[in-house]
Amino acid sequence: MSNSAIAQNLINGEWLGGADVERMNPARPGQVAVVSPSSSLEALDDAIVAAESAHAAWAALPLPTRGAILITAGTLLQERKRAIAEDLVREEGKTIAEAMGEVTRAIDVMRFFGSLGWAPTGDVLPSGLPNTSIYTRREPLGVVGLITPWNFPIAIPAWKTAPALISGNAVILKPAEMTPMSATHLARALADAGLPAGVLNIVHGKGRIIGSALARDTRVAGLSFTGSTAVGLGLHQVMSERRARVQLEMGGKNGVLVLDDADPRKAAQVVAAGGFALTGQACTATSRVYVTPGIRSAFLEELVAQAGSYAPGDGLDAATKMGVVVSDGQLEQNEGAVRDALGRGATALHGAAADNGLYFTPTVLTDIAHDDPAVRDEIFGPVIAALEVPDYESGLAAINDSRYGLTAGICTDSLARSSDFAQRAQAGVIKINRPTAGLDLNVPFGGVKDSSTNTFREQGRTALDFFTWGKTVYTGV
């Protein structure tokens, strides 16, 4: 334990809490990656009280002052980038290249939202009345809760925290239990950048205790959640009953349609990158692919070759292309989904089992029914189901035949088909000849159906909408 990282609660500017929970390095069984507290409701109450006390003064600061603190935090993250990325690999299991990219995303998010401290806010509008001017302004919600998942343990806390802070809110952040250290690095950078005590508070602990209490506490004006659909819908019900604002980013079962006119090798690279990178542990990962007959054989051959290039390994080894599965529970979910599909008659063209420990081999399933659970239910691992469709219209219908609607993709050289797909595919993000996973930080992100509340989008300037409410001001002269 002497070499493990230590994550603590941050409450009213103080680092508090014991080492109640050990998180093991998923790539190195028996090695403790980080220790963290398992907080009580009393700790959460202290954090909310601190946020309430700090909110007014923070909201009153000039926007450029708030922005400068976020930009400085980005600079500090840049200086600490390698150490943060290595801690991220140890607690989550992804590759060091992926971790470095994720920390870069957090840096850029801090700088992007920090720069909005100098951007125009509100609108000046004409009035039909004489001697009257109208303008709009945005006001912070107050105290907001953020609940973040383990799969992007610093990027998602960053892209929720930054718009909340620049908007003038005080924040309670509840990171995932399996990845407490990455969020701690983010909070340390903000604190060291001069963020006043109480404006950002971190409370570690069990989601069913801390997360549930955040949703039920009437002092929390809004809650932004990323995680499973089942948990998200439960939180939505609680928040809706008390008419509080809620933002959900939940599951995905993202499909790609590959048409005969696509290049089979390029299409396979797109699908593999979307399905096997990040160990398939992304809500935007490709998990089902529909292929028209003329390209099916060549595409599957290329996809299997691509799967073979994603050999799982220890993420701290620079040669590793795909990291390990995050936990025993996730491994059981991956293996169970594949095993059950094979039992129903599916064929595994590649993979289908763990090599050693949490080293799960990328898996390609075929000869599988369109309504098979492996096609319809989120697995959250490097498993792709490949199905044949007779034509474009059938493929589009199959893409849309899902309870989820986060991302969807198409591989084609046809401008007409890609344009039609962009219009008719039922997903919040459309990718044409690009992997379903991955999004620029300055564009809106969110889904439809059971992937999202389909109200407020994350990332980009649209992220500010959730954390503020609008006011229209008339002035007579």
Query: Any idea which residues carry the catalytic annotation?
Result: 283
Judge whether 145 and 220 are in contact, CB under 8 Å. Answer: yes
Integer Cα distance of 76 and 101 in angstroms: 16
Integer Cα distance of 138 and 62 in angstroms: 14
Integer Cα distance of 440 and 461 in angstroms: 12
For the chain, give the number of residues. Answer: 477
- For residue 249, list its beta bridge partners: 226, 452
Integer Cα distance of 309 and 107 in angstroms: 30
Helices (H), 259-327: 264-276, 293-309
Strands (E), 400-444: 404-405, 407-411, 429-432
Element of type H or E holding 383: strand 383-388
Integer Cα distance of 384 and 276 in angstroms: 9
Sign of CA dihedral 461, 464, 465, 468: negative
Maximal CA-CA distance, the chain: 77
Strands (E), 86-142: 124-125, 132-140
The angle subtended at Cα 106 by Cα 191 and Cα 331, nearest 5°, is 110
**Amino acid letter for position 135:** Y
Judge whether 252 and 229 are in contact, CB under 8 Å. Answer: no
Sign of CA dihedral 266, 268, 274, 280: negative
Judge whether 255 and 409 are in contact, CB under 8 Å. Answer: yes
